[in-house]
Amino acid sequence: MTLQELNASLHDCQRCKLAKSGRTKVVFGVGNPNASIMFVGEAPGFNEDQQGEPFVGAAGKLLDKLLESAGLSRSQVYIANVIKCRPPNNRDPEQDEVDTCKPFLLQQIELINPKLVCTLGNWATQTILEKKVGITKVKGQAIKLERFVVFPLLHPAAALHQGNLLDTLKDDFKKLKAYLDRMNSPAAQASVTASSPTAPASGTPQSQLDLFGS
């Protein structure tokens, strides 16, 4: 199945109760289908539901600025959410909704095959790590999983609601930029091709420079 086919298969999804609770559009995802970096948020909000595109409201405008600060653009990365339909009144996703939609996020990740997945907020982080871990404990660091590296970040909407989190989020995007710069440095590329890297145990913070070279 291609990414387009997966998108089409969810166009009028009726698999969970969100289909009947005021959803306007299924928000599949947007960006470069061959991206090596993917961002995963929680769920569409009002604007996303209207436009059918993730992160187009206030949190999206902040995300665009943060991407720019890390030397990234929307067209370079791929952006999706854990759940593809807006929960009524932007309430938290419920477990059955996550359980229903998660396989499609995983399929999306498999088809795009990114090297780095930046999770935005608790929901995306816990869904991808499959662990009940608080975002403040793991944010701003690279965690190697079997198929890709996870880089958890605070959710931009949290920084909009709690202004004191904005500097932390900006700092973590600086850490992301530093990480990308290290991965893309000639030294990192050479060290990867010169040696056969042994992957650290799944779910542990990554210290090896083996992200973009392998």
DSSP output for 2-37: -HHHHHHHTTT--SSGGGGTT-------EE-TT-SE
CB 73 within 8 A of CB 63: no
The shares of helix, strand and coil residues in the chain, as percent rounded to the nearest 5, are: 45, 10, 45
Write down the least CB distance from residue 146 to ligand URA, Å: 25
Residue 198's nearest CA partner among 185, 207, 186, 187 is 207
Write down the least CB distance from residue 57 to ligand URA, Å: 6
Interface contacts to ligand URA, rule CB under 6 A:
41-45, 48, 54-55, 59, 81, 157
Nearer to ligand URA by Cβ, of 48 and 172: the residue is 48
Write down the least CB distance from residue 40 to ligand URA, Å: 8
Nearer to ligand URA by Cβ, of 79 and 116: the residue is 79
Instruction: Give me the residue whose beta carbon is nearest to ligand URA.
Output: 41
CB 108 within 8 A of CB 3: yes
Write down the least CB distance from residue 81 to ligand URA, Å: 5
Nearer to ligand URA by Cβ, of 42 and 172: the residue is 42
Nearer to ligand URA by Cβ, of 59 and 128: the residue is 59
Residue 173's nearest CA partner among 53, 28, 37, 55 is 37
